[in-house]
Amino acid sequence: MFLPRLQRRRKVGRMFHAACALTSLIGLAFLVVLITRVAWEGLPWLSLKFLTNFPSVLNPPNAGVKSAMWGTMWLIGITAMVSVPVGVAAAIYLEEYAPNNRLTRFIHVNIANLAGVPSIVYGILGLAVFVRWLRFDRSVLSGALTLSLLIMPVIIIATREALLAVPQSFRHAAYALGATRWQTIRAHVLPAALPGIMTGVILAVSRAIGEAAPLLMIGALTYVTFVPEGPRDAFTALPLQIYDWCDRPQQVFHHLAAAGILVLLGILLPMNAVAVAIRAWHQRRKAW
């Protein structure tokens, strides 16, 4: 009555298994090819001189990323100082204080949508608000504020998830002892959620480090031979410098771009690794 054809089904199943495993490896393969290529092109050009020189169009072999790195440091410093407290505070409100009404749900939906808005639209917003309207001009401040707006939804979502993961029993226990809401949050909820929040913040900031499109929009220069001295100075950033070098047709600039990418990845990959390590450590260690 039944013709199960098990042999054939098994064989097809094995092929499918292999196909799925293969597709999983394609991502890995691409990563390997990418990094190998970048290292191949860029390592010969990576030197202390590269890190400490300014870029030079006329003298490419002596070009460097000094201005870009300083610009990135200024940029990220201000971005982190603005976006992290505001983002975490917003998430604390949404998770710990907000009543479950239409306004709160609207804010949630709003944040999810903001997280999906293309980064260049944030650049347009920054151009109109910070550069033109507030007259911060094409300065580090404009760039940092634009990037802050960009990564804030990401920080809020990550912090919310970290707060949600803290069991309600923690809060109830504290309230039962007569603690106020803020005392509970500060002493019990935040410490428990801290690893999750740190992971989210590190990943968000590393995203900001790699962004170029919003900075192009606010008018950050791509060829800069000075270091910013204050928030109102003009600047460039590492991704912008890389973009500028890529855009030039001569081969030598592509090598410089590869070296710049190595510096950028050299900053970002350890940051991502730390974030993932914190998450893994927290998963293993937490007692609930």
Partner 1 sequence: MRTLARWRERSIHSVVFTCALLSIVTTGGIIWVLTTESIAFFREVSPIDFFLGTRWAPLLEPRSFGILPLVCGTFLVAGGALVVAIPIGMGTAVFLSEYAPPWARSVLKPILEVLAGIPTVVYGYFALTFITPHVLRPLIPQAEVFNAASAALVVGVMIIPTIASLCDDAFRAVPKALREGAYAVSATRLEVSLRVVVPAAMSGIVAAILLAFARAIGETMAVTLAAGMTPKLTLNPLESIQTLTAYIVQVSLGDTPAGTIEYQSIFACGLTLFAITLAINVIAHRILRRFREVYE
Partner 2 sequence: MVTTMETPFGSDQATTPLGVTVRPRPQRLKETNSPPPESVIAADRLTIRYGTFIAVHDVSLEIPSRQVTAIIGPSGCGKSTLLRAMNRMNDFVPSASVDGKLLYRGLDIYGPECDPVELRLRIGMVFQKPNPFPKSIYKNVAWGAAINGYRGNMDELVERSLRQAALWNEVKDKLQQSAYALSGGQQQRLCIARAIALEPEVLLMDEPCSALDPIATSRIEDLIDELKSRYTVVLVTHNMQQAARVSDWTAFMYLGELIEYDDTNVIFTRPNEQRTQDYITGRFG
Of residues 232-251, which lie at the interface with partner 1 (CB under 8 A)? 239, 242-243, 246-247
Residue 120 interacts with partner 1 (CB under 8 A): yes or no: yes
Residue number with CB closer to partner 1 (140 or 216): 216
Asked if 258 interacts with partner 1 (CB under 8 A), we say: yes
Round to whole Å and give the CA distance between 189 and 170.
7
d(CA 233, CA 139): 5
Q: One-letter amino acid identity for 282?
A: H
Distances (CA, A) of 265 to 69, 185, 210: 13, 36, 9
Residue 3 interacts with, from partner 1, partner 2, none (CB under 5-8 Å by kind): partner 2
Residues in region 179-208 near partner 1 by CB under 8 A = 180-182, 203, 206-207
| Residue 16 binds to partner 2 (criterion: CB under 8 A) | no
Distance, CA of 185 to CA of 43 (rounded, Å)? 48
- The whole-angstrom separation of Cα 141 and Cα 125 is 14
Q: Please count the other Cβ atoms lying within 10 Å of the Cβ belonging to residue 66.
A: 19
* By the rule CB under 8 A, 2 interacts with partner 2: yes
Residue 185 or 192 with smaller CB distance to partner 1: 185
Q: Is 17 in the site for partner 2 (CB under 8 A)?
A: no
- Which one-letter amino acid corresponds to residue 283? Q
Triad 220, 206, 55: Cα angle to 5° = 40
Determine if residue 137 is left, alpha or beta; phi over 0 gives left, psi from -120 to 50 gives alpha, anything else beta.
Answer: left
Site for partner 1 (CB under 8 A): which residue of 121, 165, 274, 278?
Answer: 121
> Per-residue x/- mask for partner 1, residues 25 to 64, rule CB under 8 A?
-xxx-xx--x--xx--x-----------------------
Question: CA gyration radius for the chain?
Answer: 24
CB count within 10 Å of CB 265 equals 17
Question: Total binding residues for partner 1 by CB under 8 A?
Answer: 86
The entry of partner 2, partner 1, none near residue 12 (CB within 5 to 8 angstroms by kind) is partner 1
User: Would you count residue 124 as binding partner 1 (CB under 8 A)?
Assistant: yes
Which range of residues in 2-10, 102-110, 114-122, 146-154 is near partner 2 by CB under 8 A? Answer: 2-10
Residues in contact with partner 2 by the rule CB under 8 A: 1-6, 9-10
